[in-house]
Amino acid sequence: MAAHVRTTWRDSMAPASEVLAAFEGAKGFMPVGEGLALYGAAVEAGRLGLPLLEVGTYCGRSTILLADAARAAGVTAITVDHHRGSEEQQPGWEYHDPATVDPELGRMDTLPTFRRTLHRAGLEDHVVAVVGRSPQIAAFWNSPLGLVFIDGGHTDEHASGDYEGWAPHVAEGGLLLIHDVFPDPVDEFTGQAPYRVYLRALESGAFTEVSATDSLRVLRRTGEGI
């Protein structure tokens, strides 16, 4: 298993300054270092000529990087989210943002913010937003993917469901990315479920670790199954 240290992708894989600025200016939680690793992986995966898919859109911060990499490769970025917020984003929790609440319904709705984010970045034409719950969408998905980026809910139910639903669609040589991987048990709520999914992927024999950048893990499909 690779050591969990910061790794960087080649400078030639860095996004243009205006794309990076759009990423940094967007609402969201991914740090720049992890964003650069995500972008580098997306550029590499784009060479397979297959779509790049993320689970967990929120307001589109990471989608900007996937979309730009997809644009360069001539493929499509797909982002899946119900846009009602994950567990820790609900009222009363640490990551709740009142600005994302629909004033009429009193429920979170990050879809309008996401659409504004992509419009401002000039990337709307390179993204397909699929609005719904990840397991429901994965159940009818039947196309191979060059990259799957799991960044959804942090419970075992949701993280495992995302893995089981989408990992089978990663093409041979494609990349599986898992965000918020925290091995320390103190991070049970925020990162232990993604960590357990990460371990499961490695133990399956289907994926081999490529890099680790803070809480982002990049794995390549090198075998069958999940």
Q: What is residue 49's three-state secondary structure?
A: coil
List active site positions: 154
* Pairing of β 170-178 and β 216-221: antiparallel
DSSP 15: P
10 Å CB burial of residue 148 (0-12, 13-18, 19+) is buried
Q: In angstroms, what is the C-alpha Rg of the chain?
A: 16
Strand partners, 209: 219
Alpha-carbon gap, residue 21 to 26, rounded angstroms: 9
10 Å CB burial of residue 145 (0-12, 13-18, 19+) is buried
Q: Give the phi and the psi of residue 140 in degrees, each rounded to 5.
A: -110, 5
Alpha-carbon gap, residue 25 to 118, rounded angstroms: 12
> Where is 34: in which H helix or E strand?
helix 32-46
> Where is 53: in which H helix or E strand?
strand 52-55
Alpha-carbon gap, residue 184 to 189, rounded angstroms: 11
